[in-house]
């Protein structure tokens, strides 16, 4: 087993991206990334080596996120920037920003209506910018499975068919 500092340096970006895909909030993702490695350090003796360490870390991260959701007692995880904040930041591009925000909201609504599995794949690919191979590893599947299910998710969003 590698020392925890090397594990952190090698896997912290991946864990952060994964958590950002789940939380849609950089501060929460940062905090949970740190908590993930603290939990990993505390439970390193439980790592059996039957999966990649990145997969194990992402499982810890996901469990911590679910605990956080229970604490917050809310399931709406997609914060949308307030238009007033945009006005303060850039008056010249307000119309464009409002249009972009509306398009993002519509996209997020379509994604949120997918099944949990498809939703997770879409977020990991689009927001996390992970390869299909990385997505497959995180979810305990193969690259082709991730690619096919990403395609299915996109098609469901186009059709408007949700929650299978």
Per residue in 104-162, pLDDT tens? 777 778 888 888 888 888 888 887 788 899 888 888 899 999 999 998 988 888 876 54
| 3-58 per-position pLDDT tens digit | 778 888 888 998 998 888 888 888 999 999 999 999 988 888 888 877 788 888 88
Q: CATH for 83-159? A: 1.10.10.10
Q: Residue ranges of the domains in the chain?
A: 4-72, 83-159
Residue pair 108/133 in contact (Cβ under 8 Å)? The answer is no
Note the pLDDT of residue 155: 86
Model confidence at 81, in pLDDT bands (50, 70, 90)? very low
Tell which wins on pLDDT, 69 or 145.
Answer: 145
Q: Does the pTM exceed 0.75?
A: no
Torsion of CA 72, 78, 84, 86, to 10 degrees: 140
Note the pLDDT of residue 4: 73
Supply the DSSP string of 112-158, one letter for each residue: HTS-HHHHHHHHHHHTS---HHHHHHHTTS-HHHHHHHHHHHHHHHH
CATH architecture of 4-72: Orthogonal Bundle (1.10)
**Within a 10 A sphere around the Cβ of 159, how many other Cβ atoms?**
8
| CA–CA separation, 51 and 138 (whole Å) | 10
Both structure tokens of 30? 């940062």
State the alpha helices, DSSP H only, in the chain: 4-23, 26-42, 53-72, 83-89, 94-112, 116-126, 132-138, 143-159
Query: What's the residue count for the chain?
Result: 164
């Amino acid at each position: 087993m590698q020392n925890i500092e090397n594990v952190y340096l090698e896997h912290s970006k991946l864990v952060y991206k994964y958590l950002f895909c789940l939380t849609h909030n950089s501060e929460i993702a940062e905090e949970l990334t740190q908590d993930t490695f603290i939990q990993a350090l505390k439970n390193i003796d439980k790592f059996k080596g039957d999966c990649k360490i990145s997969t194990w870390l992402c499982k810890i991260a996901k469990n911590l996120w679910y605990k956080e959701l229970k604490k917050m007692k809310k399931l709406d995880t997609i914060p949308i920037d307030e238009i007033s904040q945009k006005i303060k930041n850039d008056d010249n591009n307000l119309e464009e920003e409002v249009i972009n925000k509306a398009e993002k909201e519509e996209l997020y609504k379509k994604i949120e209506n997918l099944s949990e599995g498809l939703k997770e794949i879409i977020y990991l690919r689009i927001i996390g910018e992970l390869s299909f191979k990385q997505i497959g590893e995180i979810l305990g599947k193969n690259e082709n499975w991730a690619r096919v299910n990403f395609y299915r998710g996109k098609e469901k969003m186009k059709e408007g068919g949700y929650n299978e």
